[in-house]
Amino acid sequence: MQTYQRIRRKKVAEINVVPYIDVMLVLLIIFMAVTPVITQGVKVDLPQAESEQLPEDAKPPFIVSVTEEGVYTIKAGEADDEQVPPGDKGAMEQYITEKAMGYLAINQGAPVVVAGDKSVRYEEVILLMVALKKAGVPQVGLMTDSPN
């Protein structure tokens, strides 16, 4: 009578990483396709001037942009751009004031910056700065491009 001996195989403790590599490649492609959409902002043709940059350790700034067409946009820190609802100057000023007060209540000491298109009337920028002063902003910076 012939008996068969059972051959014992060692258990292999390896992880098959091929599916993980496939998933990572798909995620990489998705992120590469989505990133340009996320980083879109308001196109403002800033005036050129020599100026200092914000320090690296500064809190994210509260930026109010005004385009050539008179459209106001708010970027509060890392949040997405938010267009100010159109209306009369008083309503827009009130909206900007409330947004600035809310942001600065949470992020005390954050810089506040106005990004005005270089073809915007001077009056528009001044009215914007007045609205920010009403919100209790101690200093308002003006954003510029470096002359290259």
In the DSSP assignment, the letter for residue 78 is: T
Q: Which two tokens stand for residue 98?
A: 């409330």
- pLDDT for 86-134, tens place per residue? 777 778 888 888 888 888 888 888 888 888 888 888 888 888 888 888 8
Q: Quick one: what percent of the chain has pLDDT higher than 90?
A: 6
pTM attached to this predicted model: 0.61
At residue 10, the pLDDT reads 79
24 assigned to some structural domain: no
134 assigned to some structural domain: yes
117 assigned to some structural domain: yes
132 assigned to some structural domain: yes
66 assigned to some structural domain: yes
User: What three-state secondary structure class fits 112?
Assistant: strand
When pLDDT is cut at 50, 70 and 90, the band that residue 59 belongs to is confident
Could you report how far apart the first and last alpha carbons of the chain are, in Å? Answer: 94
Residues 8, 96: Cα–Cα separation, whole Å: 75
Our count of domains for the chain comes to 1
Structural domain harbouring 70: 62-144
37 assigned to some structural domain: no
87 assigned to some structural domain: yes
29 CB neighbour count, 10 Å cutoff: 10
Under 8 Å between Cβ of 125 and 113: no
The domain spanning residue 120 has which CATH number? 3.30.420.270
Chain-wide mean pLDDT for the chain?
80
Q: Return the minimum-mean-pLDDT range out of 5-14, 41-50, 112-121.
A: 41-50
10 assigned to some structural domain: no
